[in-house]
Structure 1
Amino acid sequence: MLVTANGPVSAGAPVLTTTVPREYVHRAALSEVFLTGWQRTGTHAFTITAQWPRSHSFYTATAGLHDPLILCETVRQTFPLLLHTAYGTPLGHQLSWSRFSYALNPHALQVERTPAELELRVTGTEFSHRRGIPTAVSLDIAIYRDGTPIAVADTRFGCIAPTVYRRIRADRGDVTRVFAAVPDPITPLNPATAGRDNTRDVVLGHSDSPGRWPLRVDATHPVLFDHPVDHVPGMLLLEAARQAAHAMHPSAGTVLPTSMDVTFHRYVEFDSPCWIEAHPRSSCASAPGALRVDAIQDGEVAFTAEVTVVPPPSSMCPATAPAA
């Protein structure tokens, strides 16, 4: 049975599409909710529907293509949705990202005359529980657009009860106080170098060291900071990896991150400088390809991403497009 934001829909009844409740995907703004419904298809199998707008204030289209990071945010929204609806996790539990990877076909990202309608086929593969509530979950996800596969993803995350989270975070557990004390953003990298049009969207700071930039945190950003948090959001770190890939090859023009393999080792905090370091993996250092991006804070690696970037499909041979 299909479940929408308005409840179950009987067979044969018209489906009136809306978004799922924003609370279920941990978003404050309705405009940032991309999921529209979900359906259980097996014990740990689900179909989730989603929609991408033709334009977005932050996940901007490039060369007529949807931003690959809107795919990442769509996937990110699936796990709080399923935790709260399918698995009965109370609102207020904290989710902690530990692993995420995706691979997509850039030829399938064209912006059409109507919003992109998506279907995510999700399978839960690993679970741990405490008192009937999941404490860690792994998901495999296949993403389809109009019945055609466009991407695959897998992710693992923890689910932490409020009392446990406050104990783990100690003096950083007071979200209101921590968020209010976030320092003002540092001087940004040139937007063109970061692959951005708007200075406000740049998450790398100015640097004279090739392949190394300070992380730039603007807590007033309406998308990356949709609501107060007590540490740097995972999506901001993914954006930092994308911008580092652009900055490594500024003469190559726009590049698309067609895959990432990400590990979140520890929280990135607001009160200490964090450095983004990029290391080419490509055999041709002057051209887009593969690179590793690390976020380093207080001498420890907090985040690692293996990133593959390619030119937009208009400038690449179809035969070289990565398969979803």
Structure 2
Amino acid sequence: MRDEALFEASVKRELVHKRSVSEVFLTDFVQTSSRRFIAGAQWPRWHVFYGSPDGSPDSALMAETLRQAVIFMSHLCGVPLTHKFLMPYMSISVEAALLDPLVPAQVAVELDVKDMKLSGGQLSALTVTARFVVDGTPSGKGPRRPAL
């Protein structure tokens, strides 16, 4: 999926628990069904922390993008902005894809909610699987189960 509207501007930094706007990779978030979402993200051409010497997607950058998407989705589901998140389970698998170092990468993260747990009527845990599509090319996936 490569819908340009997904990449127009960054989401508000407080919705992904970041202090610096430059650290916000998420650009949009669309719910496509009751348990399916698509997050837009834009990866920078260069970053002081994230990067891969061979031009492939960086697994740490993918993990941070997934972290931001899950936090954003949790707030959409009613989790207050003041709540902290624990994300003890994460794995990312990177598929072969080359990033063009001259342009920011446009990333669609397809999220499927597999399980949601409520406590006192409020979301307290969820299980999410993700598929990364970078510039139209499948580039990775990651199961994700954060405890809120």
Relative to the length of structure 2, the TM-score reads 0.90
- Over aligned residue pairs, what C-alpha RMSD do you find? 1.7
Q: Distance in 2 between matches of 1:101 and 1:47?
A: 19
Deviations 1:157-177 (CA, angstroms, capped at 9, x unpaired) = 111xxxxxxxxxxxxxxxxxx
Q: Distance in 2 between matches of 1:19 and 1:25?
A: 10
Cα pair distance change 1:81/1:59, threshold 3 Å: same
Relative to the length of structure 1, the TM-score reads 0.42
Higher RCO (C-alpha under 8 Å, 6+ residues apart): 2
The amino acid of 1:72's aligned partner reads A
Size of the aligned set, in residue pairs, is 144
Deviations 1:62-85 (CA, angstroms, capped at 9, x unpaired) = 133442211111111111100112
> Residue 53 of structure 2 aligns with which residue?
62
The amino acid of 1:101's aligned partner reads S
In terms of fraction of residues, the more strand-rich structure is 2
SS in structure 2 opposite 1:38?
Answer: strand
Deviations 1:33-74 (CA, angstroms, capped at 9, x unpaired) = 100001000111101100110100111341334422111111
Equivalent of 1:138 in 127, 136, 140: 127
Cα pair distance change 1:68/1:98, threshold 3 Å: closer
Equivalent of 2:17 in 17, 21, 26: 26
Equivalent of 2:112 in 101, 119, 123: 123
SS in structure 2 opposite 1:19?
Answer: coil
- Give structure 2 stretches of 5+ with no counterpart: none
SS in structure 2 opposite 1:124?
Answer: strand
Q: CA deviation at 1:15?
A: 7.4
- Give structure 1 stretches of 5+ with no counterpart: 1-13, 160-324
Deviations 1:274-310 (CA, angstroms, capped at 9, x unpaired) = xxxxxxxxxxxxxxxxxxxxxxxxxxxxxxxxxxxxx
SS in structure 1 opposite 2:91?
Answer: strand
Q: Percent identity?
A: 31
Cα pair distance change 1:15/1:129, threshold 3 Å: closer
Q: Distance in 1 between matches of 2:89 and 2:63?
A: 12
Extract structure 1 runs of 4+ deviating beyond 2 A: 63-68, 109-113
SS in structure 1 opposite 2:64?
Answer: helix
